[in-house]
């Protein structure tokens, strides 16, 4: 069965510091995609970054980067230079080749302190 | 920038009543999804929809639930007889095509409160 695990229910980071949010996944499918979404207190789900299982390089999108370690089945999100507006829930999600539904982790609540 | 639009943002209903949650996906997208998030829990897949039919549904998506794309723009989720445990945030998502790099874009959600 497919599974996404986020072991950090809550994290604090000082403004302007970098923070890593952990995500591990479990699948026997060789082909999959990994996604991170941000959910502010207003509730919407905002796409941040994508990593494909066959991608050789770690994905980056502005201040977001994904530390993809395939052998360890981890896909950690790194946010550099944290801003107050980064305070939100962050969800890791996975989709598989033949079934495009997303499997979500339980989320990490990030608080950025001024 | 194109976005997925969901209405209403909040729906309050009495147990046993029917509700229809509405979504307008991004216009050139072909795959549509409903997810729900019970307060404090993870987001769960309900159903996927392609080419005017359900392509996959979860065990949550029982006979009380139905989806429809009544015209070229709207995508609806109907709950026939709501239960207290249906109280959740419901997200609609759309995706351009069935390849990995096609991201699912989510709407802002409808918070359903069943009293």
| pLDDT tens digits along A35-56 | 999 999 888 899 999 999 999 8
Contact B48 A95 (CB under 8 A): no
Percent of chain B surpassing pLDDT 70:
95
- Identify whether the C-beta of residue A10 lies closer than 8 Å to the C-beta of residue A111: yes
| A100 confidence band (pLDDT: 50, 70, 90) | confident
pLDDT score at B97: 75
Task: Please name the residue of chain B whose CA is at the shortest distance from the CA of residue A51.
Answer: B101
φ and ψ of A21, to 5 deg: -105, 125
Interface residue A10 vs chain B (CB under 8 A) = no
**pLDDT of residue B56 exceeding 80:** yes
Structural tokens at position B87: 């109280």
Among A57-71, A92-106, B73-87, the range scoring the smallest mean pLDDT is A92-106
Contact B33 A106 (CB under 8 A): no
Contact B100 A31 (CB under 8 A): yes
Among A23-32, A57-66, A94-103, the range scoring the smallest mean pLDDT is A94-103
Chain A residues with CB inside 8 Å of B93's CB? 45, 102
| A98 confidence band (pLDDT: 50, 70, 90) | low
Contact B106 A43 (CB under 8 A): no
> Cα distance from A87 to chain B (closest Cα, Å)?
17
DSSP string, A32-83: EEEEEEEE-TT---EEEEEEETT-SS--EETTEEEEEETTTTEEEEEE-S--
For residue A44, the tally of other CB atoms under 10 A from its CB is 17
| Residues B40-48, mean pLDDT to the nearest whole number | 92
Contact A47 B41 (CB under 8 A): no
């Amino acid at each position: 069965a497919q599974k996404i695990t986020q072991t950090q229910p809550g994290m604090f980071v000082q403004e302007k510091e970098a923070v890593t949010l952990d995500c591990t996944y479990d699948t026997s499918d060789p082909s999959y995609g990994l996604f991170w979404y941000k959910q502010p207190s207003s509730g919407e789900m905002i796409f941040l970054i994508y990593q494909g299982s066959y991608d050789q390089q770690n994905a980056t999108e502005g201040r977001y980067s994904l530390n993809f370690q395939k052998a360890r089945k981890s896909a950690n999100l790194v946010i550099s230079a944290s801003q107050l507006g980064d305070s939100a829930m962050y969800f890791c999600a996975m989709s598989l080749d033949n079934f495009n539904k997303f499997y979500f982790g339980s989320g990490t609540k990030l608080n950025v302190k001024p | 920038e194109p976005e997925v639009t969901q209405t209403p943002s909040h729906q309050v209903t009495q147990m046993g009543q029917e509700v229809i949650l509405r979504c307008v996906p991004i216009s050139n997208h072909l795959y549509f999804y409903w997810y729900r998030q019970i307060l404090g829990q993870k987001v769960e897949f309900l159903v996927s929809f392609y080419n005017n039919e359900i392509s996959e549904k979860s065990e949550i998506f029982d006979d009380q639930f139905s989806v429809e794309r009544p015209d070229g723009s709207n995508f609806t989720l109907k709950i026939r007889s709501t239960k207290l445990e249906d109280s959740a945030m419901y997200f609609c998502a759309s995706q351009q095509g069935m390849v990995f790099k096609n991201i699912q874009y989510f709407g802002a959600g409808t918070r359903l409160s069943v009293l």
